[in-house]
Amino acid sequence: MKSHVVVELIPFEVPDFVYIRMPVSTKKEGFKELPKFYLPQIDEVDLFKLCENFKDEVFKKAGKNLPPTAE
């Protein structure tokens, strides 16, 4: 016998900002918070690329292929 249960998934949390990739610092320099840009500061093209990359990484991590309508 099989049963299907319907659950409501909580959507991914949308960040307010993105960090900037920085070169690795030495321990002598101590902890430094990475610089960040808030989403309204990012142009549409770069924001779209970040979203596409996130989507691709989610599907990759899940071991799934994108549905045909999403490609």
Range of the domain at 65: 17-70
pLDDT over 90, % of the chain? 73
Q: Is residue 21 situated within a structural domain? A: yes
* Contact indicator for 30, 42 with CB cutoff of 8 Å: no
The pLDDT value recorded for residue 40 is 97
Q: Answer left, alpha or beta for residue 49, where phi above 0 means left and psi between -120 and 50 means alpha.
A: alpha
- The average pLDDT across 20-45 equals 85
DSSP result, the chain: -------PPPPPPPPSEEEPP-PPPPGGG---PPPEEEGGGS-HHHHHHHHHHHHHHHHHHHT-PPPGGG-
Could you tell me if residue 36 is inside a domain?
A: yes
pTM value is: 0.75
- Whether 32 is in a domain gets the answer yes
